[in-house]
Amino acid sequence: MNRSDIRLSVASDDAGVRDIRWEADDAPEPGEQQAKAMLLSLWDADARNALRIDLWTQDMTVEDMNDFFFQTLLTLADTYKNATGDANLMSDIKAFAREFAEKASDRERARGGGA
């Protein structure tokens, strides 16, 4: 059995999260890495409940958050298919992700951001 530790470090103040750093034993890059946002979900089988930690730094832009959610939804779709074998629901999740990306992009343009 192999073991890999993941370490998270979050710096915050009264205004919110200032810095997120992480390090993992088997990360692609050695050493501490910086992140602007993180979503951590854990399943408590006894309580049948998802436990979450959702954090983002003060300087995370709406455009970056939109991209982060889009890419996360795509990844969740792949994970769902790998875990359940259900390619149809995977396709539905990916279709939703593309629709989300289009709407988010349209709203960002309407606010005057993005290209």
**Are 8 and 39 part of one and the same domain?**
yes
Alpha-carbon gap, residue 12 to 17, rounded angstroms? 4
**Are 31 and 71 part of one and the same domain?**
no
With beta carbons less than 8 A apart as the criterion, state whether 66 and 111 touch.
no
Helix-then-strand count for the chain, H and E: 2, 5
Residue where a domain terminates, one of 41, 59, 77: 59
Domain extent, residue 15, equals 1-59
Please count the structural domains in the chain. 2
Closest CA relative to residue 79, chosen from 71, 68, 46, 65: 71
With beta carbons less than 8 A apart as the criterion, state whether 58 and 16 touch.
yes
**Are 66 and 41 part of one and the same domain?**
no
**Are 2 and 50 part of one and the same domain?**
yes
Q: What is the pLDDT of residue 115?
A: 55
Residue by residue, pLDDT tens for the chain (115 residues) are 999 999 999 999 999 999 999 999 998 888 999 999 999 999 999 999 999 999 999 999 999 999 999 999 999 999 999 999 999 999 999 999 999 999 999 998 898 866 5
